[in-house]
Structure 1
Amino acid sequence: MAGPPPRGAGKSRYSSFRIIGGASLGALFEWYDFYVYGALATVLGHVFFPPIDESFAFFASLAAFGAGFAVRPFGALVFGWLGDYIGRKYAFLLTILVMGTSTAMVGLLPTYEQIGIAAPILLVALRLAQGLALGGEYGGAAIFVAEHAPPHRRGFHTSWIQTTATLGFCLSLLVVLLCRSSLSPEEFTEWGWRLPFIASILLLALSVYIRVRLHESPLFMDLKARGQTSRNPISDSLMRWRNLRWILLALFGATAGQAVIWYAGQFYVLFFLQSTLKVPHDTATMLVAAGLLLGTPFVVLFGYLSDLIGRKPIMITGCLLAALSFIPVFKGLTLATNPALVRAAQTAPITVSGDGCSGMLWRKDTHICDLVRTQLARGGIPYSWAAIDGAPLTVKINGVSIPIDETLLGLTQALRASGYPERADPEQINIPVAIALLTLLMIFVAMVYGPIAAFLVELFPTRVRFTSLSLPYHLGNGWFGGLLPVIAFAVVLETGDIYSGLWYPIIVAAGSALIGAFFLNETHNRSLMRVTHPVGTAQTAPPAVEK
């Protein structure tokens, strides 16, 4: 039997637009703040870290980028507690203040050349503050929209929140591209990189204005009026097995797979184009931005479809398709953007062997073999290697030994003579094919990301929803997804295979698909006004009034 009409039932459709638009626009700006660092990772590596070599600077920059992801689960607990105890609106209002302030301060930081080791320390501290803030942002926005949405439109309404991560990333790419095109390379490297960070001050002011004007979630207000809010949301989320079980299943059966697909299809592919395939920075940025813009409408489409056929089948299918397609798609990108590299790798394969050739990441001393492999990795050149005790260092190109000295000049000359390009030739880039492949990656992202906000909101009861939703989402996206560029780059550095880093997202996505298929249940028919989890298999919720 239907309960009383929802609060605000007589309002115009503008109310829904204002709720979705207000939450989404604020989230978009916050994602911009977080991802503008990623768009400038290659530049920031040189600005804030010791000038040891290019590979170290890039790896250190990625590690600092990953630090922001590592603390996101802790932000989920802090802001989740605030959201469940004080209210949804105030939690995500605070997150945007912390995020915007931290981002602006990055643009004002002195460089390594100016203050030495204090520069990377301060940069990492601000990245940690950004990660903490983002740990509360997503849960607040998704729950706020879902708890205002009609039950049969929850997937569609929350899918607009899902587009903000991609659009925020795309906005960061476009702003960086605009700054690069407006300045000389020297000006951009010297001071122009600061502009995208400082611009967040304007975004912060607009976002705060928007969010102050929004009203608190009606479900939370009703729960608070009944005296049923949680006194200790963290304890109720983590210390009660019924709830903790769903947090773990949500993490391993949904968010981990969604996260690696998201970051492989948007972030890692940008690093791959720029640093491995040596596509010019502006060209790589425009290609990825085009793929993001073309693919983003599919996020809303799959959110809408999840209201009709369910969240689970769409997300599992997306995980499986991505796991099967990553390596072929990335190989296709290589052929489309740097065909000379493909031809050289086929006609003149490279092998490195000898005493001292071992795991580069675990060595304390630099060996001549490490220098060779670092130069190959820096050039995005695939190779195979073997450690042979007592044997001299041998580098072969198409079976022919290359003389090697400390300068590595002979190796550089041999690589060019064998057809290995220093950079991708812009004239040989097949732009339509590259954009089509990048859009395909974005469609995989849309399949797993479009329905997941509604899925997570429906999975947890109202009194601990903010904390319980935020934790698995940010464990998955902060740890499994956010560390993907660092892990993938390290695997490539170790193996010499430019595609070997993709095995990490492939394994995680396939594992999530299997766990989700067997252990997670459909949620799209559940009522949100629940104080506890449904009893039993949780296929459907017990009758409750939908607010």
Structure 2
Amino acid sequence: MRKLPNAGPVAAEPTIELQRKVMIAATVGTVIEWYDFFMYISVASAISVNFFSGDNPVWANVFALLTFGTGYLVRPFGALVFGRIGDMIGRKQTFLTTILMMGFSTVAVGLVPSYASIGLWAPSILILLRMIQGLALGGEYGGAATYIAEHAPQGRRGWLTSWLQTSAPIGFVLSMLSVYLMRASMTPEAFNDWGWRILFISSVLPLAISVWIRLKLQESPLFLKMKNEGTLSKSPIYDTLRVLPNLKRVLIAMFAMVVPQSVLLVGAQIYSLVFLTGTAKVDPQIASLLVGAALMLTLPVMIFFGWLSDRYGTKIFILAACVIGTFTYLPLYKALTFYANPALYTAQAVVPVTVAADASECSFQFNPVGTAKFATGCDIAKNALIRFGAPYSTRSEAKGAVATVFVGARAIPVATTGQAPDVAAFTGKLQHALEEAGYPSRADPSAMNFAMIILVLAALSTVAGMIFGPLASAMTDLFPPQVRYTSVSFSYHVGNGYFGGLLPAIAAALQISSGDIYAGLYYVMVVSAISFFLGLFWLQSVPAAAKVESVATVAA
């Protein structure tokens, strides 16, 4: 049995000026990291044109799998790698390294020659750079959260760390806004050819500013005290994942804090954008501006709940968010459809659509990588209907029957008996039938209630903000300082990557399987409900301000 020694109290409380300086430096740097990471997503269409060739489907599948692995596997690995370094060498040096890695890899993306110039080397280099970005992002959040928390006195930890929580939404909004302005300033052809590269290369300027700010910071006083007293962990990864008391803390942080935050936040900010553009048929640029406006409107809410957590603890807000999210996300998304595309909302209610098909041809279309093929008549019909925003019921037919969509009384077969489906022809006929029945091909901006759309989106983000605002404070307070960087980083990125990150793919599969355009929200609701009961029994009610971080020990 061994223990990580007591770190002891920090000798002097940091001044208010130093606390503010630390908070600003850590938050600005993390905003830039998220901005760089989201930029890739924001210009994905231009990158696919320049780096991936449709002439070689085998290699296209390989690179799609590698991209998937970058998003869901590399970030937790980066959390362990940089968490270990941060707990052994220091917080400041580690998250200074992560921002340099993120910045240089982002600039490099803008300089990589296209597929037409260097062939398969282009996507290979791109994937490598994305892996470096994922590694860097995996180590950034835990380091920034730990650094701020270890400078924050009792009664201010929730308030100070809540500013860090605004970094991801701000980075997301800035990336969308930058792409919007760049696209608006040139033709689509120019943007796809060279305009997108400017966005990546120009990120060197905010990178330089952030590095300059962080270079002026000093190491965490608590870390220096542990280092001087010889109480640092000699094996942070082992002490995080193999030592039972801390492993229990990791599981509590992951499933009672991060997982509900992840599904609620992705449901409010990222999936809402997918829903508006895909299901509600809102113009992508309009949808991006609406989501961005709602995000900026709710940033103060995150800070407010962080401030409240210093007085009342985090448990009450986590449980409240889980309950509210479970019962409000479905009606809020229905309201989103009503205000964004009232014609579509009306058509969904009055025009019955039925898919009649051989049940054995209907797959559960879970496709997170984007490489699976669903080519049966039933799958083609269901996929098309969901893309058109049309809910449907399914009727089982005899084995081998040709899949047919009924829009009211009108029948549209997917194929002619004995022939392979002509997807383009079927899709055109289906779209025409739906439009005649009242399903619009796109949302009419003149009929949209922009104020109410922003209000609904803000309500969704407010629910998520109840957890997200005080999350960094709650997580850093849960773990002993010797393994805090590693534990926070790993819990955060595994919980976010594997639960919130898979939400769009799970939602699409549930929509297509059930015929209900809102079925993806059941995943959010079920996860939130389960997390409520986990939090009810696992989380402590003591406010973060009432705890002293020097008393934590980990037995092995």
What TM-score results when the alignment is normalised by the length of structure 2? 0.88
Q: In the alignment, is residue 277 of structure 1 matched against residue 277 of structure 2?
A: no
Find the counterpart in structure 2 of residue 400 from structure 1. 410
Q: Match of 1:507, as an amino acid?
A: V
Residues 429-468 of structure 1: CA distance to partner in whole angstroms, max 9, x if unpaired? 1101000001111111210111111111111111111111
Counterpart in the other structure of 1:142: 145
Give yes or no for the alignment of 1:471 onto 2:490: yes
Match of 1:391 among 401, 405, 412: 401
Q: CA deviation at 1:530?
A: 3.5
Partner of 2:39 in structure 1?
36
Asked if the contact 2:281–2:442 (Cα under 8 Å) also holds between the matched residues in 1, the reply is yes
Partner of 1:285, secondary structure, is helix
Superimposed CA distance per residue, residues 34-57 of structure 1 (whole angstroms, 9 cap, x where no aligned partner): 1223333455456555559xxxx9
Q: Following TM superposition, by how much is the alpha carbon of 1:330 offset from its aligned partner in structure 2, in angstroms?
A: 1.1
Q: Is 1:427 aligned to residue 459 of structure 2?
A: no
**Superposition TM-score, scaled by structure 1 size:** 0.89
Q: Does 1:367 align with 2:364?
A: no
Residue type of the alignment partner of 1:453: A
TM alignment of 1:98-109, pairs within 5 A:
98-109=101-112
Does the 8 Å contact 1:41/1:62 carry over to 2? no
Q: Is the 8 A contact 2:83 2:142 kept in 1?
A: yes
Return the offset for 1:121: 4.7
Closer, same or farther: CA 195–513 of 1 in aligned 2, 3 Å = farther
What is the match of residue 308 of structure 1?
311
Counterpart of 2:550 in structure 1: which amino acid? M
Confirm or deny: 8 A CA contact 1:148 1:218 kept in the other structure.
yes
Partner Cα distance (2:374, 2:231) in 1: 60
SS at match of 2:245: helix
Does the CA contact (< 8 Å) of 2:402 and 2:413 recur in 1?
A: no
- Paired residues of 2:402 and 2:414 also in contact (CA < 8 A): no
Residues 1:191 and 2:194 are matched in the alignment: yes
CA, structure 1 residues 372+116, in 2 after alignment: closer, same or farther (shift >3 Å)?
A: farther
Contact 1:62-1:485 within 8 A present in 2 as well: no
Q: Which residue of 2 aligns with 1:513?
A: 532
**C-alpha separation in 1, matches of 2:99 and 2:162:** 20
Distance 2:547 2:252 in 1: 18
- Partners in 2 of 1:65 and 1:156 — Cα distance? 35
What is the DSSP-based 3-state SS (H/G/I as helix, E as strand, rest coil) of the residue aligned with 2:365?
Answer: helix
CA contact under 8 A between 1:347 and 1:398: conserved in structure 2? no
Contact 2:348 2:391 (8 Å CA) reproduced: yes
The CA RMSD measured in Å over matched residues stands at 2.7
Cα gap change, 1:503 to 1:119, in 2 (>3 Å): farther
Q: Match for residue 379 of structure 1?
A: 388
| Aligned mates of 2:167, 2:454 — CA distance in 1 | 21
Q: Does 1:532 align with 2:537?
A: no
Instruction: Please give the per-residue CA displacement for 1:155-174, whole angstroms capped at 9, x wherever unaligned.
Output: 00111111111111111111
Aligned to 2:339: 336
Percent identity between matched residues is 44
Greater alpha carbon shift after TM alignment, 117-126 vs 347-356: 117-126
In the alignment, structure 2 segments of 5+ residues that lack a partner are 1-7, 367-371, 416-421
Conserved? CA contact 2:10–2:221, under 8 Å: no
Q: 1:67 to 1:380 in 2, by over 3 A?
A: farther
Tell me, which stretches of 5 or more residues in structure 1 are unaligned?
A: 535-547
Contact 1:112 1:118 in 2 (8 A): yes
Could you say if the C-alpha distance between residues 505 and 130 of structure 1 is closer, same or farther in structure 2, counting changes exceeding 3 Å? farther
Whether the 8 Å CA contact 1:403–1:411 is kept in 2: the answer is no
Distance 1:498 1:126, change over 3 A: farther
Contact 1:357–1:386 (CA under 8 A) maintained in structure 2: no
Cα gap change, 1:110 to 1:268, in 2 (>3 Å): farther
Instruction: Find the counterpart in structure 1 of residue 12 from structure 2.
Output: 7
* Cα distance in 1, alignment partners of residues 114 and 438 from structure 2: 38
| Alignment partners' CA distance in 2, 1:443 and 1:62 | 34
**Which sits farther off after the overlay, 85-94 or 277-286?**
277-286
- Aligned equivalents of 2:9 and 2:476: distance in 1? 22
| d(CA) in 1 for partners of 2:137, 2:452 | 34
Q: Match of 2:369?
A: none
